Amino acid sequence: MLHLRQEARATWTLAWPIMIGQLASTGTSFVDAVMAGHVSAGDLAAVSVGASIWVMLIVTLIGLNLAASPLIAHAVGAQRQADVPPLVQQALYQGLCWALLAWLIALAASPIFPHLGLPPDVATKAHGFLIAVSWGLVPFALFRVLYGYSASLGQTKPMMVISLIGLALNVPANWMLIYGHFGFPAMGGVGCGWATAFCMWVTLLMMVGWIRYAPVYRATYPFRHWQRIDWGRQRELFRLGAPMGVMFFVEVSAFGGIALLMARLGTTSVAAHQIALNVASLTFMIPSALGTALTVRVGHALGSGDARRAREIGNAGLVLGLIVACALATMIIIGRQHIAGWYTTDAAVLALAGILLLYAGLFQLADATQVVAAGILRGYKVTRQPMLVHLTAFWLVGIPLGYVLAFGWHGQPGSGAAGYWQALVLALVCAASLLVWLYLRKSRAALMR
């Protein structure tokens, strides 16, 4: 029990700055939704639908660019600091390629909005939002590579500070571009996209500057002696990163894709879904930060050859994740009506959002467990099986079942937006159970080597 508390405390020490930094990064979506929602329900719906594609792209980029983190953590744990700069450089090359591909996908997806059953003005605004915010894909991808590098060295507080500055900058940028101040036109929800893209470029420049001048990075400084593309290393990064990208895409598409399918239920359902999804995305950042910290700590332990300590770190992480999830669930369920009121004053949206937030609170336990278990497995360099788990849970269970529960089947009426969230709760329980079983199996195998 003493070891459990010590490992949980060490994980929390590494994770809490990541949590604040990720909450700040996701907080830009919260700020966008709140400020757009106070323009009109149509602007909130436009940002919701446009963000459903945007979030799918950036979350997938997070997964794709996580490949370097366990590799760096293992190198640091094995005291092979000379391996780190080439790893970071190769990850930056690959991150740039992924970002450019995501940008092309965003452009290709833009014409879809008029075919979703949205009112013409909402479809136009959603299209404008996606085009604007997609200019932030390149800095976002490169920032995430450097984010993983810094976290693998145990340096998480700089990312927290930089993300908080980016969030603080997003508010006045939104104010100018949404409502039209200081000579800028009033762009409504579209202004959110331009403001977010601008802030992403600023945060990348701040991160590069910090790494350039902070002494702690000198032994592994990645911006000198640039190497050409190493295809062997690129394949290694791809083998680890591609399954994580697919895994992240599968989960986020189950949530974001629902916003697209929900368009036929009307603006009220889309706006209420966006509120619940935005709150769930914010709370997700807390266990996600635990997963990131556990990837690093488990990677360090395995890199040093201590499989027993890696398992102790993982066990403590699962317990810590459940404690955090209980607190989040209680907060959301008790305060759901008040939380919905932050976003809108529309009575119909408020009523439906309160119902959806109840489900968002209920799935916190399963969501925290699955993301923490996935983070531990990344520390073991296990990414393919978690991808298959997410494919099964979300695409074979969550989305089909959600469609049936939302729209009905063979004459049986559906329960609308709530039906999708009921199915997502079941999908998360399925994913969490399978990932915990996989972690226990992999950690046991590592002990027996």
Residue 73's Cβ-side half-sphere holds a number of Cα atoms within 13 Å equal to 30
The predicted-structure confidence for 197-212, as pLDDT tens digits, reads as follows: 998 999 999 999 999 9
Name the least confident of 147-151, 181-185, 214-218, 345-349.
181-185
**What's the total number of domains in the chain?**
1
User: What would the DSSP string read from start to end of 409-432?
Assistant: BTTBPP-THHHHHHHHHHHHHHHH
Predicted local distance difference test score (pLDDT) of residue 204:
94
> What pLDDT is stored for residue 39 in this prediction?
66
The per-residue pLDDT for range 395-410, each reduced to its tens digit, is 888 888 887 887 777 6
Q: What is the pLDDT, as a whole number, of residue 158?
A: 85
Query: What pLDDT is recorded for position 132?
Result: 87
pLDDT of residue 326: 92
Band the pLDDT of 251: cuts 50, 70, 90.
confident
Greater model confidence, 31 or 158: 158
pLDDT of residue 305: 84
Question: Would the pLDDT of 116 be above 70?
Answer: no
User: Out of 40-44, 75-79, 124-128, 226-230, which region has the weakest mean confidence (pLDDT)?
Assistant: 40-44
Task: Check pLDDT > 90 for residue 275.
Answer: no
The pLDDT value recorded for residue 347 is 81
Q: Which domain holds residue 87?
A: 2-447
Q: What share of residues in the chain are helix, strand, coil (percent, to 5)?
A: 85, 0, 15
The pLDDT of 443-449, averaged and rounded, is: 84
284-315 pLDDT, tens digit per residue, is: 888 888 988 898 888 888 888 888 888 999 99
Cα(321)–Cα(373) distance, integer angstroms: 9
Gap between the Cα atoms of 311 and 443, Å rounded: 6
Express as a percent the part of the chain with pLDDT over 90.
20
DSSP secondary structure string, 220-260? G--SSSPPPP-HHHHHHHHHHHHHHHHHHHHHHHHHHHHHH
What is the average pLDDT score of the chain?
Answer: 83
Does position 253 have pLDDT exceeding 90, yes or no?
A: no
Once rounded to an integer, what is the mean pLDDT over residues 320-344?
Answer: 88
pLDDT at 69 over 90: no
Name which of 236-240, 269-273, 286-290, 372-376 the model is least confident about.
269-273
DSSP 131-146: HHHGGGHHHHHHHHHH
- Find the range with the poorest average confidence among 26-40, 71-85, 318-332: 26-40
Check residue 438 and give its pLDDT.
94
Residue scoring higher pLDDT (240 or 415):
240
Give 72-105 pLDDT, tens digit per residue: 888 887 788 888 889 999 999 999 999 999 999 8
Closest to 64 (Cα-Cα) out of 199, 226, 246: 246
Choice between 267 and 443, residue whose per-residue pLDDT is larger: 443
